[in-house]
């Protein structure tokens, strides 16, 4: 009887059904009440009791095999039926989803814009290829000031007055030159610095600049605005702190840190065990900058800030390597599919 089972197993395994008839034959032959398997089950009563268990098990296994093979044959046949005659297209294959996903930098930029729009900021734009005056001089960088060194610049060889902007602060100048206060704008865009590409640096990255100039704008407004942003972006319980810093175009200047939203301030590897992470540079617009843009510094004051979009995205989504943003690896990009 074991031999019979073995032979039946082979028969089942090699069975095919190209037509509905063949499928029906398979069913009749193997699994119907009058089929081979039923015969074998009937023979079971002739088997000595001590062997019954072994044979019973073997028979049950083969019954399952026959049934699952039947299901396979049914679905194979269904699939074949759906192929239009004369082609080999398989219409039952899962569809390729051609809908792309929003790049995480775009999504982060949109989110930042959306938050500032709610509190009255317009979006402004400026050129990526800039002259020295708008990128440095008008922003109160004296010609040989070491602060220029902090932003290793791509100059155009043929005309060293032309450069790739090192920050979005050039748009502050362009905006104030063409528009009288009140000005309340955010300015997202690409910036360029001569940096070796690594997990933490790239020669092209994105910033968002913010500028608010009007009568009686104070440091208090800067604090409240950035505090609002931090809570909207990173969660309601976020705290902020201002650390004194230096930028030629703001006075006083401050780096803005937020409480680490990963560990809540108790210390982790994201905040390097300090409880705080830096998100932006900021300060009160330097009177020289206002004057360079024909804005009366006796009448108007303002604040400005600048933040790296990659940095915000890396913090928010815990992305450890900046290079992922430009490698276009679909496995990385698709993870942002649900974002807008």
Residue whose beta carbon is closest to ligand PHE: 306
Stretch that binds ligand PHE, among 6-14, 117-125, 130-138, 299-307 (CB under 6 A): 299-307
* Residue 278, H or E segment: strand 276-285
Total residues contacting ligand PHE by CB under 6 A comes to: 11
Q: How far is the CB of 91 from ligand PHE (least distance, A)?
A: 54
Letter string b/e over residues 251-262, b meaning 16 or more CB atoms within 10 A of that residue's CB: eebbbbbbbbbb
231-250: contacts with ligand PHE (CB under 6 A): 247, 250
Stretch that binds ligand PHE, among 95-103, 122-130, 275-283, 291-299 (CB under 6 A): 275-283
Q: How far is the CB of 159 from ligand PHE (least distance, A)?
A: 23
Residue 22's contacts (CB-CB under 8 Å, 6 or more residues apart) are 16
Among 283, 292, 295, 310, binds ligand PHE (CB under 6 A): 283
Q: What is the DSSP string of 203-249?
A: SEEEEEEEEEEETT--HHHHHHHHHHHHHHHH-TT--EEEEEEEETT
Beta carbons within 10 angstroms of residue 169's beta carbon:
29
**Pick from 151, 326, 329, 157: nearest CA to 247:** 151
Among 259, 281, 300, 313, binds ligand PHE (CB under 6 A): 281
Q: How far is the CB of 247 from ligand PHE (least distance, A)?
A: 4
**Pick from 211, 318, 307, 212: nearest CA to 261:** 318
Binding of residue 306 to ligand PHE (CB under 6 A): yes
**Is the CB of 189 or the CB of 281 nearer to ligand PHE?**
281
**Is the CB of 104 or the CB of 283 nearer to ligand PHE?**
283
4-63: contacts with ligand PHE (CB under 6 A): none
Question: Following CA atoms 155, 209, 283, 300 in sequence, which dihedral angle do they give, to the nearest 10 degrees?
Answer: 100
Binding of residue 104 to ligand PHE (CB under 6 A): no
156-215: contacts with ligand PHE (CB under 6 A): 167, 169, 209
- DSSP-derived 3-state class of residue 305: strand
Among 135, 140, 282, 301, binds ligand PHE (CB under 6 A): 282
**Is the CB of 108 or the CB of 169 nearer to ligand PHE?**
169
- DSSP-derived 3-state class of residue 276: strand
What is the sign of the dihedral through the CA atoms of 220, 182, 289 and 204? Answer: positive
Among 305, 314, 315, 325, binds ligand PHE (CB under 6 A): 305
- DSSP-derived 3-state class of residue 53: helix
Binding of residue 304 to ligand PHE (CB under 6 A): yes
The residues binding ligand PHE (CB under 6 A) are 167, 169, 209, 247, 250, 281-283, 304-306
């Amino acid at each position: 009887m074991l031999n019979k089972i073995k032979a039946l197993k082979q028969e089942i395994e090699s069975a095919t059904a190209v037509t509905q008839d063949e499928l029906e034959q398979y069913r009749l032959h193997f699994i119907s009440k009058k089929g081979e398997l039923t015969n074998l089950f009937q023979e079971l009563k002739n088997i000595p009791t001590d062997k019954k268990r072994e044979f019973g098990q073997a028979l049950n296994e083969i019954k399952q095999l026959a049934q699952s093979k039947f299901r396979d044959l049914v679905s194979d046949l269904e699939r074949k039926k759906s192929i239009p005659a004369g082609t080999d297209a398989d219409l039952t294959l899962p569809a390729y989803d051609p809908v792309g996903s929003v790049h995480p930098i775009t999504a982060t930029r949109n989110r930042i814009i959306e938050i500032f729009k709610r509190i009255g900021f317009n979006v402004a734009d400026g050129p990526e290829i800039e002259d020295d005056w708008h990128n440095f001089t008008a922003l109160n960088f004296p010609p040989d000031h070491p602060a220029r060194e902090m932003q290793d610049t791509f100059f155009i060889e043929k005309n060293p007055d032309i450069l790739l902007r090192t920050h979005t602060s050039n748009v502050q100048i362009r905006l104030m030159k063409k528009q009288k206060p009140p000005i309340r704008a955010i300015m997202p865009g690409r910036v360029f610095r001569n940096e070796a590409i690594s997990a933490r640096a790239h020669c092209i990255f994105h910033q968002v600049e913010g500028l608010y100039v009007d009568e009686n704008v104070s440091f208090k407004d800067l604090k409240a605005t950035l505090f609002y942003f931090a809570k909207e972006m990173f969660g309601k319980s976020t705290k902020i702190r201002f650390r004194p810093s230096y930028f030629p175009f703001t006075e006083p200047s401050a780096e803005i840190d937020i409480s680490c939203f990963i560990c809540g301030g108790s210390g982790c590897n994201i905040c390097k065990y300090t409880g705080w992470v830096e998100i932006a540079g900021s300060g009160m617009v330097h009177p020289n900058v206002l004057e360079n843009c024909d804005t009366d510094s006796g009448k108007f004051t303002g604040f400005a800030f600048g933040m790296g979009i990659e940095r915000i995205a890396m913090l928010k989504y815990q992305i450890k390597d900046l290079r992922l943003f430009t490698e276009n690896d679909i496995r990385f990009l698709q993870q942002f599919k649900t974002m807008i």
